[in-house]
Structure 1
Amino acid sequence: MVRLLRPLLRGRTYTRLLHMWVPVAAVSVWWWVQPELPWVPLVVLVPVGLLPGARVAEVMQARLLLTPDEAEPDFATRPATAWRDRWRTVLWLEIRALVGAVVAYATVWLPIMAYALAARAVGHRTGDLPPMPGPPDWVFGLLAPLPLVALYAVVAGLGAGLTGVARRLLGPSVAERLAAVEERTEQLLERTRIARELHDSIGHALTVAVVQAGAARAANSPEFTERALAAVEETGRAALEDLERVLGVLRESERPASARPTLTDADRLLESARASGATVDAEVTGPLETLPGPVSREGYRILQEALTNVLRHAGAVPARVRVAAADGLLTLEVRNPLPDGRPAPGRGSGLRGIRERAALLGGRAHTGPDGAGDWQVRVELPLG
């Protein structure tokens, strides 16, 4: 019994009643003036529902009155552009108008019926009930609560049913759900890319700073210490610039990707590695300035992570860097000897990020020992 009466204590029961009354209030004037043409408002609702913005207005009312206690109800958030969605809105308006008419009739006449039965029970005859010879008046007292029970069932039942219909007809279509999933996927990919940007840029700067600080302390030379501090300062400034670019992506979703560094800025990475004590033998061939933007930007990050790997795991060792753009392919290769007693890199997220970047561009990446005592990072990215 408590469960059956629980809707009486919920505010949404009464907001749904208001929602069902709204269309009746809008057309009641017409029904009063032209009662012989009650179907005219239903015809007028057809062109109204075909308007793209009609669904937005209906969704706003449904959120406010049908699902006031739900934080994220499953309703569409954009105007209906497809004709199928517009006709769904038309069907919703027609159903809402018919349900509103039933509820309006019930909420007016059922209480009157209950009053008439109660009045008959006490011997007061009203014009709402026809003469009914036979049963004693007290029988009508037993029947008086029934119209109110019926009213409760109509209000609660039709309110819940109309809410279910609203979820189906005002909810996003299959195409809109797919578009929302794709948009969400793009957002997650963007967040992943931003995380990689921060990892590669800040990780590289911190690695250079740590290596330089350790080398300066071991060298015990004022001149070397001064060069090390200058390298740390330059790397830190570059990292701050990269951080500002990444944060700019968060602040301005339409910021052009061209603001990010490309392979034409590779000299900065090479000089930073050399300043950290590594001997870098670099060979760059091909027109890097004509590379496609995504390939050049991701190539820069791949080269940055590969050099960071050298400094982090091998230290100040000779490194050979090859960057070649030819025959529709960009090839990046970084080799360095594996110091004795040091584990080979490969368990962190940096190398995994290199492989993921290459895969996203349709390329391939190989990382690991080459059989000759060197650690190799080789990436091939198609330019098409």
Structure 2
Amino acid sequence: MWVPVAGVSVWLWIEPGLPWVPLLVLVPLGLLPRVREAEVMQARLLLTPDEAEPDFATRPATAWRDRWRTVLWLEFRTLLGGVVAYATVWLPIIAYALAARTVGHETEDLPQVTGPSNWMFGLLAPLPLVALYALVAGGGAVLTAVARRLLGPSVAERLAAVEERTEQLLERTRIARELHDSIGHALTVAVVQAGAARAANSPEFTARALTVIEETGRAALEDLERVLGVLRESERPASARPTLTDADRLLESARASGAAVDAEVTGPLETLPGPVSREGYRILQEALTNVLRHAGAVPARVRVAAGDGLLTLEVHNPLPDGRPAPGRGSGLRGIRERAALLGGRADTGPDGDGDWQVRVELPLG
């Protein structure tokens, strides 16, 4: 029905005789890691503006597979853009030529419609505009689907994101445990000391109790400040965490609270692996806190032994009549979780002599 007159479609600044040149130029451009990041930003703003978290990559392309996916995206986007641009120019012109032919008007330098002038051309005139609308709308949907496919995260990136999220959750759990153990221990010591000082009704004992409360509170504030520093600077590793070489501080704090602690420490604690020594300190802290909280000022036997590829922590204490056993609180659960994370085991409960025991074994390998 129609034949285009002599004329050449010029694709912006591109040489008409070399239409493949832009596609060739896009290859090295798409291999640049940051180009993918820029394309993802454009796709978010233009294709998925209503989605809060569209499924696109969140980091520059590092693997070659992802770089070549970016190249394919640029090639597809350019080709589809050229098709839509061509249709946007010529389909309205064709619609105008059909409408003009309906009334017998000749259009120069435009597509010529052959055939007698009749009302049929008037019925066909809207079709190019409908086709243009379908092309633009459908092209947008296709472009969005292709963008999700080519600009979406790869399997490796998804695994990296899952690992990063897991690390964040583990770090939050660790920080919560740190706060529970440190602040819980300090508060327990403070409560026990205050109650003992009031019951003793002795100025000297009260002075010693206040000194212990002050020292314990200061240590808890240091721990709190360190944890808050980790939260404020999440990318920096936690430092200056107490280790088993600082166990004397825990033992003296328990003794100052009235518990008769008989401690036996053997083995080179200063050579223990960092994670084992740090978690061992927290396990011992929680075990002593349970002694003060559930048993009060009672004799306690503490054994810390390092050797033969194993770190053993044992705390035994009697349970006075009328005092409840520790049971299944968050403290004991935290001890078992810390031991499990390091590949060890923790046993808590009554021992053969009727005392309460906490026994933890942590491998040093």
Same fold at TM > 0.5: yes
Are the equivalent residues in 2 in contact too, given 1:363–1:382 (CA < 8 A)?
A: yes
Match of 1:28 in 2: 12
What is the identity, as a one-letter code, of the residue corresponding to 2:132? L
Deviation readout 1:287-318 (Å, 9 max, x if unpaired): 11111111110010000000011111111111
Q: Contact conserved, 1:52 with 1:80, CA < 8 A, in 2?
A: yes
**Which amino acid is 1:266 matched to?**
A
2: CA distance, partners of 1:50 / 1:315: 68
Matched position secondary structure for 2:317:
strand
Residue type at the aligned position of 2:352: G
Q: 1:373 to 1:162 in 2, by over 3 A?
A: same
Matches within 5 A, 1:214-233: 214-233=195-214
Listed one character per residue, the Cα deviations across residues 324-353 of structure 1 (whole Å, up to 9, x for unaligned) are: 111111111111001222221122111111
Partner of 1:14: none
Partner residue in 1 for 2:112: 130
The change in CA–CA distance for 1:48 and 1:256 in structure 2 (over 3 A counts) is closer
CA contact under 8 A between 1:258 and 1:293: conserved in structure 2? Answer: no
Residue identity matched to 1:68: P
Q: Which runs of 5+ in 1 are unaligned?
A: 1-24
Matching of residue 287 in structure 1 with residue 268 in structure 2:
yes
Cα 1:255–1:51 shift into 2, 3 Å: closer
Larger proportion of helix: 1
Aligned Cα RMSD in Å? 1.7
Deviation per residue, 1:268-287 (Å, 9 max, x gap): 11111111111111111111
Instruction: Please state whether the residue corresponding to 2:347 is helix, strand or coil.
Output: strand
User: In the aligned structure 2, how far is the partner of 1:122 from the partner of 1:342?
Assistant: 104
Does the 8 Å contact 2:104/2:117 carry over to 1? no
Alpha-carbon distance in 2 for matches of 1:309, 1:292? 26
Q: CA deviation at 1:111?
A: 1.5
Please tell me whether the aligned partners of residues 266 and 306 of structure 2 are also in contact (alpha carbons under 8 angstroms).
Answer: yes
Distance apart, 1:252 and its partner CA: 2.4
* Residues 1:319 and 2:319 are matched in the alignment: no
**Does structure 1 retain, via aligned residues, the 8 Å contact 2:312–2:361?**
yes
- CA distance in 2 between counterparts of 1:259 and 1:117 reads 82
Distance 2:201 2:104 in 1: 114
From 217, 240, 260, the counterpart of 1:259: 240
The CA distance in 2 between the partners of 1:371 and 1:152, in whole Å, is 84
**Farther-moved stretch of structure 1 (144-153 vs 303-312):** 144-153
- Residue 38 of structure 1: how far off its partner (Å): 0.8
Percentage of identical aligned residues: 88
- Measured in 2, the distance between the counterparts of 1:217 and 1:156 equals 80
- Indicate the residue corresponding to 1:328 in structure 2: 309
Q: How big is the shift at 1:181?
A: 0.6
Match in the other structure for 1:120 = 101
The equivalent of 1:193 in structure 2 is: 174
> SS state of the match for residue 49, structure 2?
coil
Q: 1:131 to 1:243 in 2, by over 3 A?
A: closer
1:100 aligns with 2:85: no
In 2: Cα distance, 1:257 partner to 1:323 partner: 25
User: Can you give the 5+ residue segments of structure 2 that lack an aligned partner in the other structure?
Assistant: 1-9
Is the Cα contact below 8 Å between 2:97 and 2:113 reproduced in 1?
no
Query: What is the CA distance between 1:134 and its match in structure 2?
Result: 3.8
Contact 1:263 / 1:288 at 8 angstroms: preserved in 2?
yes
1:66 to 36, 40, 47: 47
Counterpart of 1:67 in 2: which secondary structure? coil
SS of residue paired to 2:315: strand
Conservation of the 8 A alpha-carbon contact between 1:283 and 1:323: yes
Measure the CA separation in 1 of the matches of 2:111 and 2:333.
83
State whether structure 2 residue 44 is matched by structure 1 residue 44: no
Q: Is residue 2:151 matched to residue 1:140? A: no
SS in 2 for 1:159: helix
Which of the residues 15, 20, 37 maps onto 1:56? Answer: 37
Distance 1:314 1:123 in 2: 106
Q: Residues of 2 paired with 1:271 and 1:40: CA distance?
A: 79
SS at match of 1:29: coil
Match of 1:275 in 2: 256
Partner of 2:278: 297
Q: Is the 8 A contact 2:97 2:112 kept in 1?
A: no
Please list the CA deviations of residues 212-240 of structure 1 after superposition, one character each: whole Å capped at 9, or x if unmatched: 12212222222222211111111100100
Aligned to 1:6: none
* Counterpart selection for 2:145 from 164, 167, 172: 164
State the Cα distance separating 1:131 from its structure 2 match: 4.3
Partner of 1:381: 362
CA contact (8 A) 1:248 1:255 kept: no
User: CA–CA distance in 2 between the matches of 1:157 and 1:333?
Assistant: 70
Q: Is contact 1:49–1:90 with CA below 8 Å preserved after alignment?
A: yes
Aligned residue-pair number: 356
- Offset from partner CA, 1:235-280 (integer Å, 9 cap, x none): 1001001111111211223444441011111111111111111111
How far apart are residue 135 of structure 1 and its match? 5.6
3-state SS in 1 of match to 2:13: helix
1:130 is aligned with what amino acid? Answer: Q
Summarize deviations over 1:86-134 as a string: whole Å, max 9, x none. 1111111111111011110111111112222233334433233434334
